[in-house]
């Protein structure tokens, strides 16, 4: 029977091999957090196939604060899309082709 340590090492080696041969054809910018809800102030371009970090970008600290809950003209409460969310959405827009 293999130990957990041996299984972890084997999986890490397989992932490293996958990341070397992957063409990273599917990628997305996303928030980089050290735990759920704990944003580091960095966004990363990550391959969706092999999960390799391809690029990263530090963001201004003031972008980490969300706007307060707002009420629309019909009296419905909502949380406005933050500047950070808009920025990531714009970076993930597909590039047009001629």
CA distance 24 to 58: 22
Give the bridge partners for 45, in sequence order: 29, 55
Which range of residues in 3-11, 30-38, 42-50, 90-98 is near Zn ion by CB under 5 A? 42-50
Residue pair 61/52 in contact by the 8 Å Cβ criterion: no
Q: Encoding tokens for residue 52?
A: 């390799």
* Residue 22 found at the interface with Zn ion (CB under 5 A): yes
Torsion from C-alpha of 74, 77, 81, 82, nearest 10 degrees: 130
When binding is defined by CB under 5 A, the residue of 24, 45, 64, 87 that contacts Zn ion is 24
Closest approach, Cβ 45 to Zn ion, in A, equals 11
Site for Zn ion in 45-74 (CB under 5 A): 47, 49-50
- With CB under 5 A as the rule, give the number of residues binding Zn ion: 5
Q: Which is nearer to Zn ion, 22 or 44 (CB)?
A: 22
Contact residues: Zn ion, CB under 5 A: 22, 24, 47, 49-50
């Amino acid at each position: 029977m293999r130990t957990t340590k041996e299984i972890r090492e084997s999986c890490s080696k397989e992932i490293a091999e996958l990341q070397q041969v992957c063409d990273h054809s599917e990628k997305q910018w996303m928030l980089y957090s050290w735990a759920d809800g704990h944003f580091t102030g960095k966004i990363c371009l990550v391959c969706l196939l092999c999960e390799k970090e391809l690029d990263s970008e530090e963001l201004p600290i003031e972008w980490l604060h969300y706007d307060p809950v707002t009420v629309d003209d019909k009296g419905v409460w909502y949380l406005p899309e933050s500047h950070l969310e808009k920025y990531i959405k714009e970076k993930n827009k597909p590039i047009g082709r001629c």
